[in-house]
Structure formats: structure tokens, C-alpha cells
Amino acid sequence: MARKKRIAPEINAGSMADVAFLLLIFFLVTTTMDTNSGMMRQLPPIPPKDQIQEEIKVIQRNVFVVLINRADQLLVNGSRMEVSELRDKTKEFFTNPTDNPKLSEKKMKEIEFFGTVDVSKGVVSLQNDRGTTYDKYIAVQNELVAAINELRNEASKQKFGKLFDDLDSKQQDAVQKYYPLAISEAEPKTYKK
């Protein structure tokens, strides 16, 4: 007696494709993308070819020199420092509360909402070795920017009673003139031991 072949019932795969498509759409719609990543930096414009280079005299006390070597160690104004100390030292450099002759000078400046105030002439000069790790570079950058942001928040709270981010654009411009983001980055170099 010959056996009959069993024929498996066909499964309608069309509805499964519809379900898979709906799941795909669901995940695409509900997934959020983080768009606020990276650092806000703007390169200076290219100078005209006929521009004459002027020698600028820099007073050493107005430059907060931050060097990062290939071993990820910090040298700040000639002294070794940990990243955890950098924020407070940067704030002290810009504010110079005791008029220390080794910290930045101040100049009187008229700023809307603040009147005539002492503004730091200080600039942070950041330079790293080509062997510096990216993590250390970002950690140092974050501390320097955080120091300026904290100074801006302190000035905003004192003058307007709210944080810098909660101010309107004119108030933010005034606070930015009081505490500008004065960070100069030099091209990475390879230092000999």
C-alpha cells in the first residue's frame, strides 16, 4: 500500500510582513536621537592675503597655560595639576578676587545691565601633545568650559536671579561680555622626553 504524501498547510506570510513593518515603524517613531552632542567651536575666519601681521605683546600673567603631555598629565602655569583642580583654578584665574599679580589683569568695561565693571583680560592657552588621549583632551576641555559656565551662572544669579540658560538673549549677551569664552587652542605638537 502506497503512502499518501502529507501536504503541509500553507501559512499566509503576508500578515507577518505587515506586523514586522508596523514594529519597525513603531521603533523608528519612538526612538529618540541625541542631537546635542559635540562641542560648540567656531574657527576664526581666514585672514585676507594682504593683511599685515602685527606683533602682539602678551603680558604673561594674562595667559593661563594648560599643557597636556602624552602621559595625560597636566602642567598648568608651570605646575602639575589634576583635572579635578582645573575648574577652580580657572575660575580663580579669571576672577582674581585678591588682585594677585600672578593672575589675570582686569580692565574697566561698560556692559549693559551691569554698568562699569572689572572684566578679566585673561585667556586660557590649551596645548596638547600628539600622543594625548582623546578622553583626557575632552576632560580638560569640559573643565575649562564648565569653569566659564559656572562664572556665567554666578553672575546671572547675582544680577538677574536666575541661571544663564534662563535669561533672554540680551541678558545672555551681557553676561557673555562679562565672562567671554576665552580659550585659545594651539596645534598639537610632539614633545621630546
Query: Is residue 3 one of the residues assigned to a domain?
Result: no
Rg of the chain in Å (alpha carbons): 28
Query: Is residue 193 one of the residues assigned to a domain?
Result: no
Confidence of residue 144 (pLDDT cuts 50, 70, 90): very high
Query: Is residue 27 one of the residues assigned to a domain?
Result: no
DSSP state at residue 145: H
Mean pLDDT of 55-72: 89
Q: How far apart are the first and last CA of the chain?
A: 92
**Amino acid identity for residue 2 in this structure:** A
Task: Report d(CA 171, CA 174) in Å as an integer.
Answer: 5
Query: Is residue 83 one of the residues assigned to a domain?
Result: yes
Query: Is residue 178 one of the residues assigned to a domain?
Result: yes
Asked whether the predicted pLDDT for residue 2 surpasses 80, the reply is no
Domain that holds residue 150: 65-185
Give me the phi and psi of 29, to 5 degrees please.
Answer: -75, -40
Query: Is residue 20 one of the residues assigned to a domain?
Result: no
The number of distinct structural domains making up the chain is 1
CB-based contacts of 86: which residues, under 8 Å, 6+ apart? 66, 74, 76, 140, 143, 144, 147
Query: Is residue 25 one of the residues assigned to a domain?
Result: no
DSSP state at residue 189: B
For the stretch 8-33, pLDDT in tens is 677 776 678 888 889 999 988 888 77
Task: Report d(CA 160, CA 112) in Å as an integer.
Answer: 13
Asked whether the predicted pLDDT for residue 190 surpasses 90, the reply is no
Task: Report d(CA 67, CA 170) in Å as an integer.
Answer: 35
If you count them, how many residues does the chain have?
193
Average pLDDT, rounded, for the chain? 87
Q: What is the DSSP string of 25-52?
A: HHHHHH-------S----PPPPPPTTPP
Question: Angle, to 10 degrees, between the axis of helix 134-160 and the axis of helix 169-178?
Answer: 110
Asked whether the predicted pLDDT for residue 37 surpasses 60, the reply is no
For the stretch 77-105, pLDDT in tens is 999 999 999 999 999 999 999 999 999 99
Q: What percent of the chain has pLDDT over 70?
A: 88
**Which stretch of DSSP H or E encloses residue 29?**
helix 14-30
Asked whether the predicted pLDDT for residue 164 surpasses 80, the reply is yes
Reduced to 3 states (helix: H, G, I; strand: E, B; else coil), residue 62 is: helix
Asked whether the predicted pLDDT for residue 42 surpasses 70, the reply is no
For the stretch 100-119, pLDDT in tens is 999 999 999 999 999 999 99
Query: Is residue 56 one of the residues assigned to a domain?
Result: no
pLDDT of 105 reads 94
Confidence of residue 38 (pLDDT cuts 50, 70, 90): low
**Amino acid identity for residue 185 in this structure:** E
